[in-house]
Amino acid sequence: MANAAGASGAQHADVAVVGAGFAGLYLLHRLRKAGLSAIGLESGNDVGGTWYWNRYPGARCDIQTSDYSYTWDPELEKAWTWSEKYATQPEILRYLGFVADRYDLRRDIRFGTTVSAATWDDGTQRWLLTTSSGAPVSCRYYVMASGCLSAPKPPEIEGFKDFKGEVYFTGRWPHEPVDFTGKRVAVIGTGSSAIQSIPLIAQQAAHLTVFQRTPNFALPAHNGPSPADRVEMLQKDVPAFREQARWSMAGVPLPPATDFSWQLSDAERRERFEKAWAAGDLVVMLTQLWADQAVDVDGNTLVADLLREKVRAVVKDPETAEALTPRDHPFGSKRPCLDTGYYATYNRPNVTLVNLRREPIKSITASGIRTDSRTVDVDAIVFATGFDAMTGAITAVHPISGRGGKSIAEAWEHGPQTYLGLTVAGFPNLFMITGPGSPSVLSNMMVSIEQHVDWITDRLVAMREAGFTTIEATDTAQDGWQRHNADCSMITLHRLANTWYTGANVPGKPQGVMPYTGGVGPYRGICNEVVERGMLGFRLT
């Protein structure tokens, strides 16, 4: 437990954990078990993180829930059964509430509390966190478990404030049900949240107009009960399944295909593709077709063409089908989406697609949305415009002021610089969970979150035992890690896409592939090796 407010008025703890999503909750649990005092700070009014905020219709996970759940307590695994292959937001939120109750985690969390600034004090070797409510927090270690997709991107459209109708953000959806019955609704954006919510909004609305800038690849979820083969694979040997996931490329235990596309006939490729399509699983489609699909343009085009064919097969209007067909990025260079009836929704008479590549939005008016060529009057606008991914929640704490008063915003002026995606040179005792430079959003996040939480907690315990109080990445190690990241991304197709992985969705954000593209298994091996080699790249005092 954290100490009550000290003489300075600050609340003292060994560790401050910002965020009470999957990462923050597990970290609080581990720290407590390790005998470290910890305090959680969370803007929301309860636990859940992503699953607390994203309550839009159709919100679900897109990694099978058998894989997208905690694996750190075998008893917890036995105590919870998911009802579906891809659980809904309410079920995942219930799960996180269940975990918080089971391990009594809420008592260490200050809800409704946003960390607005953080300052390192070289004299006391502690961080002081300024909070939006209650006492500031003085801590030895400061961990940003603040999420990769938790800072919604503000609308950049002129006149946004003039609109007189209802406004919703998928990433900040109200807690009360929203009823669109009989209403004219606009959805802006066609990323994952839009693709999940559009079919349901279309069922209610009098008319739905979707404003799309960039089409995404989407595969059918084929949701339902967990598939029998996956359940069998898991139940046969749960620890082995989990361990295989930890050492895999994407955090799901499916060994990637080893045949190259040119070794397969058209018919064989088609067969593999149709099997993956029927599986309704992103990781299957991303890894199980042929070995060159993610690293070679020709191998990738073969998959992308088959996916494009599927859009044309469903969407009846050829112009709409073409507008929905992604052509500007290789398949997998941007997170593809899972859909339930998404493409078929465009065959409904009450749905219109506006292709913003042809007619950009000029402004939002009091009554609707004006493009270059038309005005669409609506009663409600849903912004499904995504997130300032990976760095947004970190740089929103401003300043995070490290050694010598330098802020993270200054240190990252030309893009995020980290060592292992976990730490930043010049910012002692600061850790990030799934930060830029770690596999994070390119993986089943559960595997990446657990690996980071375990690595950090184990290091803090080892430091306590060895009598160290500070840990900091060296500039050399950080530079080396940046180089390695850049090299890894050069041999994938991520370099060919402008996406939220590269910061391209946020005007003015420095461009570069932010997640580590080398895979979660190899990454885990590197983190372990750093420890085995005497904390290679870190200075401990």
Interaction of residue 149 with ligand FAD, rule CB under 6 A: yes
In the range 33-72, which residues lie near ligand FAD by CB under 6 A?
A: 41-44, 49-50, 52, 54, 59, 61-63, 68
Question: Strand 380-383 relative to strand 166-169: parallel, antiparallel, unpaired?
Answer: parallel
Phi, psi values for residue 190, rounded to 5°: -135, 40
Give burial (CB, 10 Å; 0-12/13-18/19+) of 132: exposed
143: CB partners within 8 A, 6+ apart: 15, 16, 17, 18, 27, 430, 431, 432, 433, 456
User: Which range binds ligand FAD by CB under 6 A, 273-281, 300-308, 389-397, 517-525?
Assistant: 389-397
User: Which range binds ligand FAD by CB under 6 A, 143-151, 240-248, 342-350, 375-383?
Assistant: 143-151
Instruction: Name which position in 10, 12, 22, 183 contacts ligand FAD (CB under 6 A).
Output: 22
**Between residues 62 and 379, which has the closer beta carbon with respect to ligand FAD?**
62
User: Which range binds ligand FAD by CB under 6 A, 14-22, 208-216, 264-272, 532-540?
Assistant: 14-22
Q: What counts of helices (H) and strands (E) characterise the chain?
A: 17, 20
Whether the Cβ atoms of residue 31 and residue 102 lie closer than 8 Å to each other: no
Torsion, CA 516, CA 418, CA 192, CA 238, rounded to 10: 60
Q: Which residue has the tokens 């099997």?
A: 275
* Angstrom distance (rounded) from CA 529 to CA 534: 9
Q: Return the closest-CA partner of residue 395 out of 141, 44, 147, 47.
A: 147
Q: Minimum CB separation from ligand FAD for residue 209, in Å?
A: 22
**Between residues 44 and 368, which has the closer beta carbon with respect to ligand FAD?**
44
**Between residues 163 and 241, which has the closer beta carbon with respect to ligand FAD?**
241
Interaction of residue 288 with ligand FAD, rule CB under 6 A: no
Whether the Cβ atoms of residue 194 and residue 170 lie closer than 8 Å to each other: yes
Q: Minimum CB separation from ligand FAD for residue 55, in Å?
A: 10
Q: Minimum CB separation from ligand FAD for residue 380, in Å?
A: 20
* Angstrom distance (rounded) from CA 215 to CA 262: 28
**Between residues 23 and 361, which has the closer beta carbon with respect to ligand FAD?**
23
* Angstrom distance (rounded) from CA 411 to CA 408: 5
Q: Minimum CB separation from ligand FAD for residue 125, in Å?
A: 22
Q: Minimum CB separation from ligand FAD for residue 148, in Å?
A: 6
For residue 305 the two structure tokens come to 């063409």
Q: Minimum CB separation from ligand FAD for residue 71, in Å?
A: 13
CA-based max dimension of the chain: 74
Q: Minimum CB separation from ligand FAD for residue 182, in Å?
A: 27
Instruction: Name which position in 147, 189, 215, 220 contacts ligand FAD (CB under 6 A).
Output: 147
User: Which range binds ligand FAD by CB under 6 A, 17-25, 29-37, 214-222, 297-305?
Assistant: 17-25
Q: Minimum CB separation from ligand FAD for residue 267, in Å?
A: 33
* Angstrom distance (rounded) from CA 301 to CA 322: 17
Q: Return the closest-CA partner of residue 436 out of 497, 499, 386, 482.
A: 482
Q: Minimum CB separation from ligand FAD for residue 1, in Å?
A: 19
**Between residues 135 and 462, which has the closer beta carbon with respect to ligand FAD?**
135
Instruction: Name which position in 10, 115, 118, 219 contacts ligand FAD (CB under 6 A).
Output: 115
Q: Specify which residues 128 forms β-bridges with.
A: 119, 138
Q: Minimum CB separation from ligand FAD for residue 491, in Å?
A: 23
In the range 298-357, which residues lie near ligand FAD by CB under 6 A?
A: none
Q: Minimum CB separation from ligand FAD for residue 234, in Å?
A: 17
x/- map, 449-478, ligand FAD, by CB under 6 A: x-----------------------------
Q: Minimum CB separation from ligand FAD for residue 308, in Å?
A: 24
**Between residues 18 and 430, which has the closer beta carbon with respect to ligand FAD?**
18
User: Which range binds ligand FAD by CB under 6 A, 141-149, 348-356, 420-428, 486-494?
Assistant: 141-149
In the range 410-449, which residues lie near ligand FAD by CB under 6 A?
A: 433-434, 444-445, 449
Q: Minimum CB separation from ligand FAD for residue 203, in Å?
A: 20
Interaction of residue 397 with ligand FAD, rule CB under 6 A: yes
Size of the site for ligand FAD (CB under 6 A): 37
Phi, psi values for residue 59, rounded to 5°: -65, 125
Rounded to 10 deg, the angle between the 238-246 and 445-466 helix axes is 80
Q: Return the closest-CA partner of residue 418 out of 384, 387, 453, 391.
A: 391
User: Which range binds ligand FAD by CB under 6 A, 71-79, 391-399, 408-416, 462-470?
Assistant: 391-399
List, in sequence order, the alpha helices (H) in 280-348. 282-287, 297-314, 318-324, 342-345
In the range 161-200, which residues lie near ligand FAD by CB under 6 A?
A: 193
Positions of E strands within 368-429: 368-371, 375-377, 380-383, 400-401
The amino acid occupying position 439 is: P
Radius of gyration of the chain (CA): 23
Instruction: Name which position in 69, 71, 88, 150 contacts ligand FAD (CB under 6 A).
Output: 150
* Angstrom distance (rounded) from CA 184 to CA 379: 5
> What residues make contact with ligand FAD under the rule CB under 6 A?
18-24, 41-44, 49-50, 52, 54, 59, 61-63, 68, 114-115, 145-150, 193, 393, 396-397, 433-434, 444-445, 449
